[in-house]
Amino acid sequence: MSQHSFPRDIPVGISQCLLGDSVRYDGSHKHSKYCTQTLGTYFSFVPVCPEMGIGMGAPREAIHLQGALEHDVIRAVGNRTATLDVTEKLEAYGREKGRELTQLCGYILMGRSPSCGMERIKVYHANGNPLGKTSAGLYAREFMKAQPLLPVEEEGRLQDVRLRENFVARVFAYQRWRALNEKGLTLASLQDFHARHKYLLLSHHQPAYRYLGRVVAMAHQRPLADVAEEYGRVFMETLKKVASNRNHSNVLQHLMGYIKNELDTPAKQELLHLIEEYRQGRVPLIAPFTLLRHYLKKHPNAYIERQVYLEPHPADLMLRNFI
């Protein structure tokens, strides 16, 4: 039984071609069934195609990023037509959408796109040879500047089970943070939020958890708006760090400590063995986690049951089954 409720229809931006719309340069699409059929259970997608948005239409001439070694200016130009330059239009559209789509809790981009790629897009010389440098897509770069806390990931990278779990966890975390602020942040609600996210933060980066603890402890000495800005920024930056097997194992051992007096020796040994097996990469996280939840059900602990770490995202997405 789930201990936490999860909202449906969380607004998440997405490159429109991933929804199956024929908006690519050649009139095709890149439909992602994982996005539409799995993540779509909880996410309400807001589609954007920058090229369509700036009036290029589909099909259209393909574009690429062009630059030079002697300066950092990168432009989006046509593959065939030297005079086709949509740099300023793509950048302006990214800034416009960044200001407009403030309701988003995440964004899934089409990788390897000179407009939508999150990173590592090849840049070319004017003669067509690779320049040896990479960039973010021009639309994506400006959008991410406008909304720096927003969880962003490329569809192709979601094939990596750890990156997938991390991204979805960040979307739900950002939704909780935004909901807290929209309700009206108070010192008490911030303290409660931090307490509930203790072990989730520890699984990502222990020093950051301690830093945020100091931010909360000293919050009464500063304007709450300043505290919220710093806390939200560090909170989301921390969750961007992919949790390691070692950190997960340490958290599981900490949680076990709350019920160790209720467990007999064989039960403790079995759980510790599974945690070590996970630390060594021999079993997925779901193995020790399921056993721990079994013991927590038999020996309830009110403090632990409030921890977001136990269920940072819906269990039916099965995101911890393979990491």
Write down the pTM of the prediction.
0.96
Last residue of a domain, one of 159, 193, 225: 159
Q: Can you tell me the distance from the alpha carbon of 252 to that of 72, in angstroms, rounded to the nearest whole number?
A: 46
Which segment of 4-8, 61-65, 186-190, 227-231 scores lowest on mean pLDDT?
A: 4-8
The reply to whether 134 and 174 lie within a common domain is no
Q: Which residue has the tokens 């721990």?
A: 292
Write b or e for each residue in 136-146: b if 16 or more Cβ atoms lie within 10 A of its Cβ, otherwise e: bbbbbbbbbeb
Does 271 share its domain with 182? yes
DSSP state of 79: S
Same-domain status, 94 and 109: yes
DSSP string, 298-323: HS--HHHHT-GGG-SS-GGG-TTS--
| 3 state SS for 139-207 | HHHHHHHHCCCCCEEECHHHHCHHHHHHHHHHHHHHHHHHHHHHHHCCHHHHHHHHHHCHHHHHHHCHH
Residues 248, 273, single domain; the answer is yes
Asked, for residue 3, whether it belongs to a domain, the answer is no
Are both 125 and 237 inside the same structural domain?
no
pLDDT band for position 2 (cuts 50, 70, 90): very low
Q: What angle do CA 218, 240, 178 make, to 5 degrees?
A: 60
d(CA 210, CA 92): 39
Q: Is residue 21 part of a domain?
A: yes
Write down the pLDDT at residue 1: 35
Residues 199, 154 share a domain: no
Q: What is the mean pLDDT of residues 77-83?
A: 95
Residue corresponding to tokens 């945020």: 212
Per residue in 280-294, pLDDT (tens digit) is 999 999 999 999 999
One domain for residues 174 and 238? yes
For residue 31 the two structure tokens come to 């439909």
Domain interval for residue 250: 160-323
**CA-CA distance, 251 to 156, in Å (whole number)?**
30
1 inside domain: no
Please state the rounded mean pLDDT for residues 14-22.
98
Is 3 a residue whose pLDDT tops 70? no
pLDDT at res. 84:
98
Contacts of 119 (CB under 8 A, 6+ apart): 134, 136, 154
> Do 181 and 149 share a structural domain?
no
Asked if 144 and 165 sit in the same domain, the reply is no
Q: Is the pLDDT of residue 6 over 50?
A: yes
Task: Count CB-CB contacts under 10 A for residue 134.
Answer: 14
Question: What percent of the chain is predicted at pLDDT more than 90?
Answer: 97
Question: Cα-flanking dihedrals φ and ψ of residue 144, to 5°?
Answer: -65, -30
| Segment 253-282, tens digit of pLDDT | 999 999 999 999 999 999 999 999 999 999
- Of 110, 130, 159, which closes a domain? 159
Average pLDDT over residues 26-55: 98
- Residues 174, 323 within the same domain: yes
In 3D space, the residue among 241, 211, 177, 237 whose CA is nearest the CA of residue 10 turns out to be: 177
Secondary structure of residue 83 in the 3-state scheme: coil
Q: Is residue 214 part of a domain?
A: yes
Domain shared by 25 and 167, yes or no: no
Residue 4: pLDDT band (50, 70, 90) is low
In a domain, 2, yes or no: no
Tokens of 30: 């890149």
Query: Does residue 63 sit within a domain?
Result: yes
What strands lie across the sheet with 71-78, from one edge to the other?
A: 71-78, 63-68, 121-124, 130-135
- 244 plus 109 within the same structural domain: no
pLDDT of residue 82: 84
What pLDDT is recorded for position 70?
Answer: 85
- Residue 33: inside a domain: yes
Q: Which residues 6+ apart lie within 8 Å of 160 measured at CB?
A: none
Instruction: Give the mean pLDDT of 70-89.
Output: 95
Instruction: Read off the pLDDT of residues 172-199 as tens digits, 9 standing for 90 and up.
Output: 999 999 999 999 999 999 999 999 999 9
Q: Which of 159, 191, 206 is the last residue of a domain?
A: 159
Q: Are 170 and 238 in contact (CB under 8 A)?
A: no
- Judge whether 168 lies within some domain: yes
- Total domains in the chain come to 2
